Amino acid sequence: MNGAARTSTRDIARAAVRAELAQVAFDLFLRKGFEKVTVNDLAAAAGVSRSTFLRYFGTKEEAVLGALDAQGEQVAGALRARPAGEDDWTALRRALDTVIEPYHQDPAYALAMTRLVTETPALCTRSLEKQNGWRPALTEALAERAGSPQPTTLALSVRAAAALDCLNIAIDHWTASDGRLDLVDLLDEAFAALAPR
């Protein structure tokens, strides 16, 4: 077995353990409440040591929000892959489909996760911080699409920020409806409210 295959296998195994630990944490948070659960509780529920749990997640917030780190790059990648002739606003809207896809795959889980995050101040704050970290990648992707020699401009940053606000507002309305409203329609409506006329 060569080094690349070994690394790939190790990465797959690590991702599987990380996903399992995250699921155990989520289940425990739902049952007992985020604030009442300690890292020791999470480790015990997962059947691992505290140090093992902390090797995968540095904090209990990360056990819930760790997936957000990769989402920013996924959205930026989807944005870069949009057709060259498509306007930025439409390209941003379509790129955000990568974020809302899980809401369609498992709406009950997505609703429970969204409520956990929005109803827990520490998670809500950290989630917004992480999402704010997506803006530079989205701005850079917009600049690349335009062939701009400057990686960031005020207008591109504003577009990226507005797109993320549209996403958050659509998710808030979807959550308030107990998942009955269609999230795609809500996101389309949010984007339409700011579409260039």
Which of 43, 63, 83 marks a domain boundary?
63
By residue range, what is the domain housing residue 17?
A: 3-63
Confidence of residue 151 (pLDDT cuts 50, 70, 90): low
d(CA 160, CA 121): 24
- Amino acid at residue number 197: R
pLDDT at 150 over 70: no
Using alpha carbons only, give the angle 10, 99, 89 rounded to the nearest 5 degrees.
130
Determine contact, residues 43/28, Cβ cutoff 8 Å.
no
Do 175 and 94 lie in a common domain? yes
Q: The whole model's pTM is what?
A: 0.85
Q: What is the pLDDT of residue 3?
A: 53
Contact 53, 21 (CB under 8 A): yes
Asked whether 196 and 155 are in contact (CB, 8 A), the reply is no
Q: Are residues 77 and 166 in the same domain?
A: yes
Residue pair 194/123 in contact (Cβ under 8 Å)? The answer is no
One domain for residues 37 and 110: no
- Give the span between the Cα atoms of 61 and 72, in whole angstroms: 18
Domain boundary among 39, 63, 87: 63
96 and 190 share a domain? yes
* Tens digits of residue pLDDT in 84-109: 899 999 999 999 999 999 899 999 99
Output the average pLDDT for the chain: 90
Q: Are residues 110 and 53 in the same domain?
A: no
Q: At what angle do helices 121-132 and 154-176 cross, to 10 degrees?
A: 150
Same-domain status, 185 and 109: yes
pLDDT in tens, 35-71: 999 999 999 999 999 999 999 999 999 998 987 778 9
Q: What is the pLDDT of residue 5?
A: 54
Count of domains for the chain: 2
Q: State the Cα–Cα distance between residues 50 and 139, nearest whole angstrom.
A: 38
Residue 47: per-residue pLDDT: 94
